[in-house]
Amino acid sequence: MSYEEKPQPLFSEKLTRLLETCLRCGECNRFCPVYRVFELNEAYSPRGWVNLASQMNRRQLQVFIDLIEHMYGSVLCGLCDHPCPYGVRPSELILLTRKELIDLGYVPPLNVAALPRKIRTILSLFEPAAAEGSWLPPSAGDSPEVSETMMFVGRWALNAPESAVAAVELAIRFPRAVPIRDMRFSCGEILRLAGYFDEAREELDMFAEWLSDRGVRRVLTACPEAAKNLASKGIEAKMLLEDLLEYTEGSLLDKLADKIVVLVRDCWNENANSAARDLLARAGASVRSAEFCASCGYGVTYNARPDIIRRLGVSLLREAESNGASYLAFVHPLAYAAVKYATQGVKSKVKLVDVFQLLLQSTRRV
């Protein structure tokens, strides 16, 4: 090959251009939670992942499964996007790299590759799964099958039934929403973050069509990403936390008085975080925000590298302990489920929960 001849880029023209836009200044690294829990190891940083993608694109590295697996080490929290002085979004480059590797026929790590099949066949996102129906509270027994306002919990309910029970019970008590019992449906977010863009779109389209066919006019959901994705299909979708602010006025007991709650925020939805803070404060809690945020990206990374989620979870628990907290509470239920599984066996004085569990225990029955 002559000096003038260069190998064709592996990735698309769009992704190639985006990768070349990054000047590798490393400003993004300072905000990355994975980089920090790996003790500033450059390989586990936004700049490290972008460098790896660039090397694969320029064919300086042969694409092996260990390199693909490494691209799933990022939890795509987006904290690296804001500080970039050049407007580069490293989280978008990492996500597009995952997508294009799949489009080119490269198979991601086994448990990530299994996600589309798990969604289609109603399997849990990670094992073990809860018993069928255990995610519905007893109060859901007499609910009709369909209503104009329905409550949706995601596939995470099979891994965190205690969270789903609490969310559904709150939805039944206050906004009087009817739970969607059918577990076939997914908003597609975890598939999108895994790089399966087409499959994610199909899942969301199928769900939107099902809602439309049954005359469902309004959907409440425990997942901030699900609310956003359903709204993109023209469906009136709202986060349960926002509705609870309106409907629980005067109904929350002061059971969390003198308790410190360290809140793990959702990375992409400040409305959900604000509602969670206000609701917990109504229940008497002293609320402090955790250093890291968490969302669906934790579920994807758990399937590829559970050790990374374990490190993040341990770090969050230690932070809560240093704050004298009684609870480490997650706004995003899938992130809660992933950390719960990843930190099994870790001893801590802090109780790991999600926001809905805390709110239910502080709620007066109506």
**Pair 258, 41: CB distance under 8 Å:** no
pLDDT of residue 353: 98
Q: What is the pLDDT of residues 286-332, one digit of tens each?
A: 999 999 999 999 999 999 999 999 999 999 999 999 999 999 999 99
Q: What is the pLDDT of residues 263-281, one digit of tens each?
A: 999 999 999 999 999 999 9
Lowest mean pLDDT among 83-87, 94-98, 232-236: 83-87
- The pair of three-digit structure tokens given for residue 232, joined into one six-digit string: 């993109």
> What is the dotted CATH code of the domain comprising 115-245?
3.40.50
- For the chain, percent of residues with pLDDT exceeding 90: 91
Q: What is the pTM of this model?
A: 0.95
Average pLDDT score over the chain: 94
Q: Which CATH superfamily groups domain 13-108?
A: Alpha-helical ferredoxin (1.10.1060.10)
| Stretch (H or E) spanning 186 | none
Range 226-235, long-range pairs (CB < 8 A, 24+ positions): 226/152, 226/154, 226/187, 226/189, 227/269, 228/268, 228/269, 229/187, 229/188, 229/189, 229/204, 230/152, 230/187, 230/204, 232/204, 233/204, 233/205, 233/208, 234/208, 235/208, 235/211
pLDDT of residue 200: 98
pLDDT of residue 366: 56
Q: What is the pLDDT of residues 155-212, one digit of tens each?
A: 999 999 999 999 999 999 999 999 999 999 999 999 999 999 999 999 999 999 999 9
> Domain extents for the chain?
13-108, 115-245, 252-361
Looking at the DSSP bridge assignments, the partners of residue 221 are: 152, 239
> What is the dotted CATH code of the domain comprising 252-361?
3.40.50.1860
What DSSP designation does 239 have? E
**Pair 147, 177: CB distance under 8 Å:** yes
What is the separation, in whole angstroms, between the first and last Cα of the chain?
A: 77
Q: Do domains 13-108 and 115-245 have the same CATH topology?
A: no
Instruction: List phi, psi (to 5°) of 178.
Output: -95, 125
